[in-house]
Amino acid sequence: MHRTAPRLARVLACAVVPVMLVVSGCSSDSDSGKKSESPAKTGDSTQGDGSGTALETPEASKSPEVEPAKFAKLPAACKSMPEKTVKKLVPSAKKKNGTPSRTSDTMSRAGCSWNGLDDNGVKGSQYRWLDLSYQRYDSETALGESGAARAGETYQRELAKAKATEGAKKLATAPLKGVGDEASTITYQLRKTGEDFAYVTVVSRVENVVVSLTYNGTGYAGAKPPTVADLTQDAVGAAKEAVASLPGANK
């Protein structure tokens, strides 16, 4: 009886060991049977949405870079014309300092005009009118369009508007060099108040700004009216001065 007890203990111990090994073996088989998932690759430009469709990452959907607008400010239009220029083009201006245009956005729009009748008694009178305007454009990153490109579109519209003047006669358009990045003159004659007026419009683009200048005049009481050629030279000179005032306003 005393010998049986130790022997029985050894049998029970041997019986337990295989059970533990089986359990351990089952656990190992279970783990090895699972398929390992590959980690997502970093640096991919797209991600899945679960439907098999690739989605753009924030990096891939960034707006394209556009050139910054060169000019952030506009000059005071009435001060951009030198006093001597105003006196030459509009000798008897009602307001020598000009009449500023009304605008709710002085950062993008500016304008000024001068007009006057130079009375020469029995020799008649000469009427002159000068108008100057600036239009500035910022770059639009969301649209992928630079300020210069937007100004170029307005430049073309201003030319088209001048050429579409109702009643214009002998209309002519010519490219102009030396006034901004691109410029043109539009000249024509127009009958108003019983007199023949000569008109000159100079439209130019300087980077992201469009400068438009119109100069016209006629003679009254028997005075000989000016010709388009007479007014063009003065108008082009004034347009150059208007363009030259832009860098100073952005210092």
Question: Is residue 173 included in any domain, yes or no?
Answer: yes
Residue 126 within any structural domain of the chain: yes
Average predicted confidence (pLDDT) for the chain:
83
Task: Specify if 60 maps to a domain.
Answer: no
* Number of domains observed in the structure of the chain: 1
pLDDT for position 58: 52
Q: What percent of the chain has pLDDT over 70?
A: 75
Task: Tell me the sheet residues that pair with 113.
Answer: 99, 131
Mean pLDDT of 53-73: 70
65 pLDDT tier (thresholds 50, 70, 90): confident
- pLDDT the model gives residue 44: 46
Mean pLDDT, to the nearest integer, of 46-55? Answer: 50
Confidence band (pLDDT; 50, 70, 90) for 20? Answer: very low
Please compute the mean of the pLDDT values over residues 148-173 and round it to a whole number: 97
Residue percentage of the chain with pLDDT more than 90: 69
* Lowest-pLDDT range of 48-57, 64-73, 192-201: 48-57
Q: 119 near 92, Cβ under 8 Å? A: yes
Q: Which residues contact 11 (CB under 8 A, 6 or more apart)?
A: none
Count of alpha carbons within 13 Å of 61, Cβ hemisphere only?
7
What is the span of the domain harbouring residue 115?
77-249
In a domain, 58, yes or no: no
Judged against a pLDDT cut of 90, whether residue 11 lies above it is answered with: no
The span from the CA of 238 to the CA of 31, in Å, is 87
CATH of the domain at 242: 3.40.1000
In a domain, 87, yes or no: yes
Task: Return the residue matching tokens 């060099």.
Answer: 177
Q: Is residue 43 a part of any domain in this protein? A: no
* Between 163 and 46, residue with greater pLDDT: 163
Averaged pLDDT, 34-60? 48
Residue 54 within a domain: no
Mean pLDDT of 112-116: 98
Q: With a cut of 50, say whether residue 155 has pLDDT above it.
A: yes
Q: Which residue has the higher pLDDT, 49 or 146?
A: 146
**Which of 1-10, 65-74, 186-195 has the weakest average pLDDT?**
1-10
d(CA 195, CA 218): 7
Q: Which of 36-40, 53-57, 185-189, 233-237 has the lowest mean pLDDT?
A: 36-40
Task: Quote the CA–CA distance of 70 and 209 in Å, as a whole number.
Answer: 9
Q: Establish if 50 belongs to a structural domain.
A: no
